[in-house]
Amino acid sequence: MLLDTFGRQAVDLRVSLTDRCNLRCTYCMPEEGLQWLAKPDLLTDEEIVRLVTIAVRDLGVREVRFTGGEPLLRPGLVAVVAACSELEPRPELSLTTNGIGLARTATALREAGLDRVNVSLDTLDPEVFRTLTRRNRHQDVLDGLAAAEAAGLAPVKLNAVLMRGVNDHEAADLLAWCLEKGYELRFIEQMPLDAQHGWDRASMVTATEILDLLQARFALTPEPSARRGAAPAERWLVDGGPGRVGVIASVTRPFCRACDRTRLTADGQVRNCLFATGETDLRTALRSGADDAELAGLWRAAMWGKKAGAGIDNPEFLQPERPMSAIGG
Ligand code: SAM
Ligand code: SF4
């Protein structure tokens, strides 16, 4: 099992399939993009499946989420999902995506065994979308969402980050739209994980502010059945339910004490935390002929060293070198 010295067990694996992306969200990466990982440094599809197999079969991982960068840019995605769906015990398989290309792939992904999808969409306004992502692809995301639902990847979840003065005026509109469509909306506090290190505490829209914006239009009551547990989102029933909304307050109400995550980057590094400053290199070990037991041992050791918390609010907090897009959000 993947245990740490604070008694937590990691059962939720986030696998980054690529650091590349077809959007340039301002809170994530600069307009010119980043120095992408070189192809030989990326794990192959077979290497990814081998490591996920070890995680599921030998290390107690029960959920696998594919992310990036933009995971739909990975040509082998459907095959990787299909291979992971054959594992015993069968893990839950999900995808976090910006939705571009999902219109084409949703059915194939569902048939390959994908259980759920989270689509990131921060605005209902195509112009705001263009400002925020620096690309004119709003309709592609809407088409992707519709296709995901039609393919049975339900309930479709929607992730939104609010930026002050850019899209924070849309908080309640986004919720109204999601309730109407039957999508489950979760707001994520902006975190200091952007490549350009432009995050600043004062301009971040906090969970408290998000709730205030929503409560101006809706009555929110804490969801009685929602024991937060390891789930990062705190959830509320909207106007008595059944519609609900979540807020992931990673900065102002961190959930590190219940964290159950482990991460694998597209270049084969294990990270025990989004905010970890160190990594464990499984790729080199794997390519040097390490057997499954050795790889599992390295992974266990990586998790054992997990810190108590991310410490974003500590004065000595240091943003990790890798940005969110290269870690896998
Ligand atoms: N490209 C895919 C997408 O956008 O869904 C997957 C990767 S993206 C890094 C995963 C999630 O992280 C998205 O919901 C995105 O909005 C969120 N994200 C990116 N940068 C962030 C930041 N600085 N703070 C909070 N969330 C962020
Ligand atoms: Fe791409 Fe996702 Fe980052 Fe936006 S948040 S730039 S879609 S990786």
Q: What DSSP line would sit under 79-113, residue for residue?
A: HHHHHHHT-SSPPEEEEEE--TTHHHHHHHHHHHT
Mean pLDDT on 118-138: 98
The CA distance from 317 to 131, in Å, is 30
Phi, psi of 120 (to 5 degrees): -95, 125
pLDDT given for residue 278 in this prediction: 93
On whether residue 147 sits in a domain, the answer given is yes
Considering the chain, what percentage of its residues have pLDDT values greater than 70? 98
- Helices and strands: H and E segment counts in the chain: 10, 12
Mean pLDDT on 278-303: 98
- Please indicate, yes or no, whether the overall pTM of this predicted structure exceeds 0.85: yes
Most informative mutation of 14, 21, 28, 133 for ligand 1 (most atoms within 8 A of CB):
28
Q: Do the Cβ atoms of 306 and 9 come closer than 8 Å?
A: no
Residue 194 CB less than 6 A away from ligand 1: yes
Most informative mutation of 120, 156, 189, 275 for ligand 1 (most atoms within 8 A of CB):
120
On whether residue 7 sits in a domain, the answer given is no
208: amino acid identity, one letter: T
CATH number for 268: 3.20.20.70
Residue 28 CB less than 6 A away from ligand 1: yes
Pocket of ligand 2 (CB under 6 A): 21, 23-25, 28-29, 68-70, 98, 120, 325
Number of domain units in the chain: 1
Average pLDDT, the chain: 94
Phi, psi of 47 (to 5 degrees): -65, -40
On whether residue 31 sits in a domain, the answer given is yes
pLDDT given for residue 225 in this prediction: 66
Q: For residue 180, what are the domain limits?
A: 12-327
Phi, psi of 225 (to 5 degrees): -80, -10
pLDDT at 217 > cutoff 80: yes
The band of 195, judged by pLDDT with boundaries at 50, 70 and 90, is: confident
Q: What DSSP line would sit under 29-73, residue for residue?
A: S-TT---PPPGGGSPPHHHHHHHHHHHHHHS---EEEEESS-GGG
- Per residue in 304-327, pLDDT tens? 999 998 878 777 788 888 888 989
pLDDT given for residue 328 in this prediction: 87
**24 CA to middle of ligand 2, Å?**
6
On whether residue 65 sits in a domain, the answer given is yes
First to last CA, the chain: 23
pLDDT at 224 > cutoff 80: no
On whether residue 2 sits in a domain, the answer given is no
User: Which residue's CA lies nearest to atom 4 of ligand 1?
Assistant: 98
**28 CA to middle of ligand 1, Å?**
7
The CA distance from 255 to 189, in Å, is 13
On whether residue 162 sits in a domain, the answer given is yes
CB-CB neighbours of 280 under 10 Å: 19
pLDDT at 72 > cutoff 80: yes
On whether residue 1 sits in a domain, the answer given is no
Residues facing residue 248 across a β-bridge:
188, 233
The CA distance from 178 to 183, in Å, is 5
On whether residue 49 sits in a domain, the answer given is yes
pLDDT given for residue 322 in this prediction: 84
pLDDT given for residue 92 in this prediction: 98
Residue 67 CB less than 6 A away from ligand 1: yes
